[in-house]
A and B are shown apart, each in its own frame.
With several copies, the nearest count.
Chain A
Amino acid sequence: MDFEDSQEEARFRTEASAWLKANVPARKELEGLDEIAASKLWQRRKYDAGWACIRWPREYGGRGGSAIEQVIWNQEEAKYQVPGGVFSIGQGMAAPTLMTWGAEEHKLRYLPKLASGEEIWCQLFSEPAGGSDLAALRTKAEKVGDEWVINGQKIWTSGAHYSDYAILVTRSDPNVPKHAGLTYFFLSMKTPGIVIKPIKQISGGANFNEVYFTDVRIPDSQRLGAIGQGWQVSLTTLMNERASIGAGGGGVGFRQAVKLAQKLTIDDKPAIEDRSIRAKLADWFVQESGLKYTGYRSLTALSKGAIPGPENSIGKLVGAPKNQEMAAFCIDLLEEHGAIWDEELSEAKGMFQLSYMSSPGLRIAGGTDEIMANIIAERVLGLPQDPRADKGIPFNKVPTGSN
């Protein structure tokens, strides 16, 4: 057992870090560029040098590398402050779906521009009535000639406002059971009839959008998979989403909390000496450390060729509530002053307050705590599903209550 690279991994890491050292854009170079432009500049540079989308086949603009090489690249790249993230949905979810279900000419047309960052994609899956029950989506797709006419609404779409293309799941037949009536497309976000509205979150941010469709027309050639096969196609996308779900991280962690506890006092003694503080911090350290080494174990499996499975849900299930508790804990340490959320006045520029206001989103986005626990129960432990009231019932006959 060790933390060392294999010889090939080490060779790859050296090469990657050397190239990064030489090519990461200097702050000056990015000055004045917005996030999109900066991201595109960096992505293009990686693409031209053959460092984009490590795992993709070369003919689609990738490097033809291994999963572990992708991880090593990510580790090395993470050592720098580089722009990015706007490509993650396109490269991480749309692309694998295109590779599995798209026609060859689609792959040749769209994948290289995804790899080079020239085109940005988003994902149009979730709907207001859907929530945890994703397949309950209602956005209507009607075939007219060899076009499809789309009407309905999507929600929680990140990057809709700056995306060029999107993947889209629709209901093409409401008269068959939920999973059987779906059809999957990709389309240009410039298509007439699409209206995008940002969603403001309680944290103040607006990373998500609502996307409305009014008689939006999509050529049948942009269908992925057969008519009614949309759910199977979606599973490809979702498998890759799950693999990309992080540790629900960000925000306050053990180190920040310790720093605060060392700085503040309780009864004029450093808070870090207070046993009730120490006990909580210790348990959180155990969780963070446990997730870290669980990650190392998956990486080891990955480097031996295993595919990341549902056990990754543990990161979010542990990390998100922990984040909420730790943020509240730090605000408590700050006492009345902790209720201030003001970049100038607040400790750590308001990071603790922002964490607290963001953490409910972490517990919900990408699957609520409860869904994560279900995934572990059903797909890891193999326990039975909950009774399904909508099983085998035509979608338009399924009870939906007031919504």
Chain B
Amino acid sequence: MNFEFSEDQNLLREQARSFLDGECPPTLVRAVLNGQKTGDSDLAKKIADMGFTATVVPEEHGGLGLSYYELCVIAEEMGRSVAPTSFSSSVYLATEALMLAGSPAQKAAWLPRLASGEAIGTFAMAEGPGRATPGNLKTTLAGGKLTGTKVPVADASVADVAVVVVKSAKGDGASLALVDLKGSGVSQSPIKMIDPTRTHSSVVFNGAAAELLGAQGQGWALTMRLLDRAAVLFAWEQVGGAQAALDQAKEYAMGRYAFGRPIASYQAIKHKLANMYVKNTIARSNCYFGAWALATNADDLPLAAATARVGAIHAYEFASREDIQTHGGMGFTWEFDCQFHYRRSRLLSVNIGSLGQWQDKLINAAVSGDAA
């Protein structure tokens, strides 16, 4: 039994943490929140210079060819520091999609640039309120022309390339399209989000030049596989954030006195923090399972991904809400940083499908797993 990260991986964690403490302190997150800085002014470049964007990209494509354990370690630290960056869109989604479905030419064209940070990628699925399905997608790719509106699209304002889920030309489900966002026929406008530290846009494709990524009509199956992989990485971000929220709440509760003693000595607060710890531990251990399934490409990946995702949503939602509650009135003020987690958690709870979708996927995987 060796169900733990390796020494090298823990070393990387220290490295990532001290890097982010230095380059992505709360003051930076706040500057972005206040609109004094844009999301990716230069943090994305520094992250790329650390090689984080290249972690799992094969060496033949200019990557480091490291395992997903390393990427999970980095993701947790990104979550802990509530990093206001395009890292997740570019690495967990665009880069993953290209590695999953890209042709040799597409990989050669984009992976080296994404790995080096020279290019930023993103993923565009939603077209409006509610769940996207192959049945309700409207965006189309016909004759190499992409047409339709995607909203919201994370990081479109800084991204060079996007993987777009489109209605299959043959009407037999969905396909994936690869589009150069800097090309003509692409227009976008920024939109206000519940978490302003993550830039999103509404993107209109008006006959923009685009090509298929993966086979015609395979888009939905590919998207589900892509989201399973991304779910593990986002779950690590959520667990990192949930731990930071618990640390923040604990520190405040120890120093804040009411009726002559620290509020941390009242059972209402003690048990609240204990519950955070319990939910965080459950979520983290499931993320270990997710990391293992991702790193070993296990058949269990769909189950592991859904389990990690559901646990992580519960943990971060609870921790970010009760972190504010523990702070009382001050936690509700703009001056305090509790809001970082409260906003980020809500965003991460819906960005790749909400709780209900993943609970449903979990049962599909767990019960079919029975049958098998």
Q: Which residues on A are within 8 Å of B, measured CB to CB?
A: 1-6, 9, 68, 126, 128-129, 131-133, 136, 155-156, 199-203, 254-255, 258, 262-268, 271-272, 274-279, 281-283, 285-287, 289-294, 296-297, 299-301, 303, 311, 314, 317-318, 324, 328, 331-342, 345, 347, 353, 356-357, 360-361, 363-365, 368-370, 373-374, 376-378, 380-381, 383-390, 393, 398-403
Contact = CB atoms under 8 A, between A and B. Distances in A.
Contacts of B350: 331-332, 334-336, 338-339
B262 A384 contact: yes
A336 B258 CA distance: 40
Contacts of B295: 1
Contacts of B262: 384, 401
A318 B348 CA distance: 25
B257 A399 contact: yes
Given A258-B366, A340-B200, A1 B255 contact: no
Interface stretch (B83-91, B98-106, B129-137, B205-213): B129-137
Contacts of B192: 340-342, 345
Given A268-B135, A296-B1, A297-B4, A345 B191 contact: yes
Given A279-B360, A297-B3, A373-B275, 11 more contacts: A3-B1, A131-B258, A132-B263, A133-B259, A136-B259, A199-B333, A297-B288, A368-B328, A377-B271, A385-B265, A400-B257
Give the dominant DSSP class at B's interface.
Answer: helix
B346 A339 contact: yes
B254 interface: yes
A282 B310 contact: yes
A1 B363 contact: no
B88 to A, nearest CB: 13
A383 B367 contact: no
B153 to A, nearest CB: 9
Interface stretch (B170-178, B180-188, B277-285): B277-285
Pairs A-B, 3 closest by C-beta atoms: A290-B282, A390-B260, A389-B260
B256 A373 contact: no
Given A300-B2, A331-B350, A360-B331, A390 B360 contact: no
A293 to B, nearest CB: 4
26 contacts: A1-B6, A131-B258, A281-B363, A282-B306, A296-B1, A299-B1, A314-B282, A317-B278, A333-B130, A334-B129, A335-B126, A338-B354, A341-B194, A342-B191, A345-B202, A360-B332, A364-B324, A364-B329, A370-B266, A370-B268, A373-B270, A374-B270, A390-B259, A399-B261, A400-B257, A401-B254
A339 to B, nearest CB: 5
Interface of B: 1-6, 69, 125-126, 128-133, 135-136, 151-152, 191-195, 200, 202, 250, 253-271, 273-275, 277-278, 281-283, 285-286, 288-289, 291-292, 295, 306-307, 310-311, 314, 317, 321, 324-325, 328-335, 338-339, 342-343, 346-347, 349-356, 358-360, 362-363, 366-367, 370
B130 A133 contact: no
A276 B260 contact: no
B194 A357 contact: yes
B265 A293 contact: no
A334 to B, nearest CB: 5
B257 A365 contact: no
A268 B259 CA distance: 55
A365 B325 CA distance: 11
A13 to B, nearest CB: 11
A378 B281 CA distance: 16
B2 A2 contact: yes
Contact of A282 (B2, B130, B253, B362): B362
A278 B359 contact: yes
Contact of B288 (A131, A293, A301): A293
Contacts of A268: 133, 135-136
Given A268-B135, A369-B325, A4 B1 contact: yes
